[in-house]
Amino acid sequence: SRQRYVLGDTAMQKMAQSHVFLSGIGGLGVEIAKNIVLAGVKALTVHDTKQCTKWDLGINFFIHEDDITGQRNRAEATLHRIAELNPYVHVAASTVPLDETTDLSFLKQYQCVILTEVSLLLQKKINDFCHAQQPPIKFISADVYGICSRLFCDLGDEFEVLDTTGEEPKEIFISNITQSNPGIVTCLENHPHRLETGQFLTFREVNGMSCLNGSTHQITVVSPYSFSIGDTSDMEPYLHGGIAVQVKTPKIFYFERLEKQITNPLCLVADFSKPEAPLQIHVAMLALNHFQENFGRRPNIGCLQDAEEMLKIAMSISETLENKPQVNGDVVKWLSRTAQGFLAPLAAAVGGFASQEVLKAVTGKFSPLQQWLYIDMLDIVTPLEKMESEEFLPRGDRYDALRACIGDSLCQKLHDLNVFLVGCGAIGCEMLKNLALLGVGTGQDKGLVTITDPDLIEKSNLNRQFLFRPHHIQKPKSYTAAEATLNINPYLKIDSYINKVCPATENTYSDEFYTKQDVIVTALDNVEARRYIDSRCVANLRPLIDSGTMGTKGHTEVIVPHLTESYNSHRDPPEEEIPFCTLKSFPAAIEHTIQWARDKFESSFSHKPSLFNKFWQTYLSAEEVLQRIKSGESLEGCFHVIKTLSRRPRSWTQCVELARVKFEKYFSHKALQLLHSFPLDTRLKDGSLFWQSPKRPPFPVKFEFNDPLHYDFIVSAAKLFATVYCVPFTEKDLSEEAILKIISAVKVPDFRPSNKVVQTDETARKPDHIPVSSEDERNAIFQLEKSILSNEALENDLQMKPISFEKDDDSNGHIDFITAASNLRAKMYNIEPADRFKTKRIAGKIIPAIATATAAVSGLVALELIKVVGGYPADAYKNCFLNLAIPIMVFTETAEVRRTEIRNGISFTIWDRWTIYGKEDFTLLDFINAVREKYGIEPTMVVQGVKMLYVPVMPGHIKRLKLTMQKLVKPSADKKYVDLTVSFAPETDGEEDLPGPPVRYYFVQEDN
């Protein structure tokens, strides 16, 4: 279901009808196979003619040691493991030779052909065949050789895409349209339109200039808040209201054959600091292909003679290309030195990108790559320049392919590495695969991978969390992922936990724990957890690599002590909250009605039942409560609890009746009340209409039993009321006849207008609690007496069963209730309704997800991990942002750490920590003096977390100077130190205090 939110149903259906052919099941081929099988094509044929070798263990996560001893073909060895990923995809293996003499007509049964590890001559031949078919067979070729990778797409002469970005069409509320040529449309203040010139919009609900409604116009952006739409001078004058909705228009993409593109390539630039790089890698990889054709082999590892030969070939190739690009000797030399090697994480990154292109080819969804993508890892090998060539030579183990790229010393550092991976979801699973292939945590004496995740495996995880299978559902993610990772590399040492990483678990994930880790890798889905872990890494001077995805978008960020800023150094703007008055009375969009329904669910079925139970746990009987309120005692929450008790439904019939009364209250009386408070002709002080965009007047909904939406609300609400009030019901109770019989007899209360003030201020917050009047209190006494006399306040009556919202269980009725309630409210306000699927995404705050982006992001993280382990300089690290839909992949340098000046040349960065060693009778004054003597500046304020230890202007704080640090801080017995924040007096009065770095105060001198 998470992938449906990315691709949509039409694309999913097209994909489920497509047949794909993939040749070459090496490290890159298996990545592509994994991703497209998880996505759900109809059938995949995996083709390979090579036998499994020891080498494959370090590059192909689906080849095991017994495949090598059994001398199995790579396609046959991996077939059942690929097929296991998705039972709905038919996976077949082919081992017949594919060469210059092969009759290619067998390819006509496929919609898409992907080639890896195929010679350039054969690629051209197959591409020509695919391009010539009607309709053309979509052609994709991809390769990873050593530190370089290449991806090429040819989807035919003309390829139509219906949705180029996959973004939701924008809806813009209009505040004005000029009567001019061109007419200028202005949107509501503080709501930028975020449109681009050339896009199309259609209009609705425009008052005055009503001939615009239903018409489509191409726009030109004038400013962030306005755009022009052509001549409006002959139209009626604009009065108010109106919504402009973006219209998605199909786009045709044009492709050339491989033969033609080789001489004049169209490349995606991934690193804008090196715009020339794609062409340079293009030339280098063509030179490698020619070298292979000439010598029947790839260049030997570290062989200078072969590198020189390849450089000569590159020079002559450059002359044959249209742009005659400059040859980059370093790229050619390193490609030659490492061409026999293979970087598995690079294959993961390219494989993720290539797989998304396959999905575009078979669905027509998103913008395809035109036509080449080149990525190199020169950053990884440049610092290895001075290494002896023996470092790179094979040793006959599973890491030979990696060793050929990064040398043995760096391989050993990876084996001895301690890594803490937080989260075993989609990115976590992919990261474990990458760590296993790199041999992280496999050292004989050192090295350990520690993982933690508190979650259990859900069915919706299976489309991208590729270590999990259907029989793992409801098992802990971390334990299952650890076990599955050992299948990839049985020599991995791995500790798995099911704890959340948060302040409550600092006993487990203590400073001592962090200090033992070499790198922390986060695979999280929320900002709060990232911020917390980042703060722990900064406090303990540990490198952190963070990443995340949302649909086809992804990011990676490298944080290295003393070199870069940290995650907390920058903050995204907070998510805009929907104003309380909009939710309560003035919804303008379906998101508002869905949030309202979600809030109703929470208050009726979770919050109120919880408060009810809590109250009756405090006061043990109804008689005791009656006695106490009669004697004038005020018991918190008692009015609402008694009201709930007196109205408690005790049968299925009463649950249905309650649902029917709620229908009337929510969808009829609410509208009548608002129109009573603000009739349709109400005007504001400036003379403008009250009910104008974005405010929409409500109209009462008349209950119709035969309307499926009305019926759904009654049934889903009644079922939930029955659950919280512990009322049993049967299948027979849910029959239409039974419901109709109850509904027909319900006496619905008439509408009586009230004089309650309706909140219209958008900045007003929801009130914490509404005061209870004395009349309400008298009423409560009467109701409670009545319940006691009727024997309706017994022990069982004083209990309810709160419901926790669960979006992924379709049988529990939670999303049914929210969909029905939201769409009824939308109907009341004349807002376009949303189907159950969209409602579930918004109400459940579901993050759309797809395996392609996850695989790409985790590959990029693992590449940065190699640099961190090698202790590389700051300019080697790269952050990345990608969006596979458009497609873009942008590498940027990490932000250099900022230095904060205090004064007199004293400065610090986020990575600096001052230390002071005390003793048992050390006072606060001693501490302040010690800081001054050691660091040359006297603190004027000392804070511990949120506790102010010393602020001179605070009453009584001067006396604290004589107190010992032990007494002030009150450390637990095992605590050796405390982290304090200090600040310093400003140079001139009236300015803010100057911040300082954290100071770690040790209670006693450490033994050196």
Euclidean distance between CA atoms 113 and 107, whole angstroms? 8
SS3 686: coil
Euclidean distance between CA atoms 598 and 593, whole angstroms? 9
pLDDT for the residue numbered 952: 86
pLDDT for the residue numbered 1: 67
Euclidean distance between CA atoms 129 and 107, whole angstroms? 9
Q: Are 77 and 53 in contact (CB under 8 A)?
A: no
pLDDT for the residue numbered 191: 83
**Catalytic-labelled residue, pool 211, 581, 638, 726:** 581
Closest CA to 451 of 501, 502, 489, 490: 501
pLDDT for the residue numbered 543: 98
Euclidean distance between CA atoms 175 and 166, whole angstroms? 28
pLDDT for the residue numbered 267: 96
Euclidean distance between CA atoms 481 and 576, whole angstroms? 36
pLDDT for the residue numbered 1007: 58
Paired residues of 942 in beta bridges: 950, 982
Residues 6 or more apart whose Cβ sits within 8 Å of residue 101: none
Question: What is the number of alpha carbons within 13 Å of residue 737 lying toward its C-beta?
Answer: 2
Euclidean distance between CA atoms 389 and 891, whole angstroms? 30
Q: How many other CB atoms are there within 10 angstroms of residue 467's CB atom?
A: 23
pLDDT for the residue numbered 990: 67
pLDDT for the residue numbered 639: 85
Tens-digit pLDDT profile for residues 700-725 = 999 999 999 999 999 999 999 999 99
Here the tokens at position 901 are 């000046």
Euclidean distance between CA atoms 503 and 501, whole angstroms? 7
Burial of 439 (C-beta count, 10 Å sphere; 0-12/13-18/19+): buried
Largest separation between any pair of C-alpha atoms in the chain: 102
Closest CA to 329 of 347, 346, 349, 312: 312
Q: Are 615 and 637 in contact (CB under 8 A)?
A: yes
What is the pTM assigned to this prediction?
A: 0.91
pLDDT for the residue numbered 1008: 46
First to last CA, the chain: 57
Q: With a cut of 70, which residues of the chain have pLDDT below it?
A: 1, 573, 768-776, 990, 1006-1008
Closest CA to 213 of 189, 239, 190: 239
581 labelled catalytic = yes
Euclidean distance between CA atoms 62 and 80, whole angstroms? 9
Per 3-state DSSP, the chain is made up of helix, strand and coil in percentages (nearest 5) of 40, 20, 40
Tens-digit pLDDT profile for residues 226-265 = 999 999 999 999 998 899 999 999 999 999 999 999 999 9
pLDDT for the residue numbered 55: 94
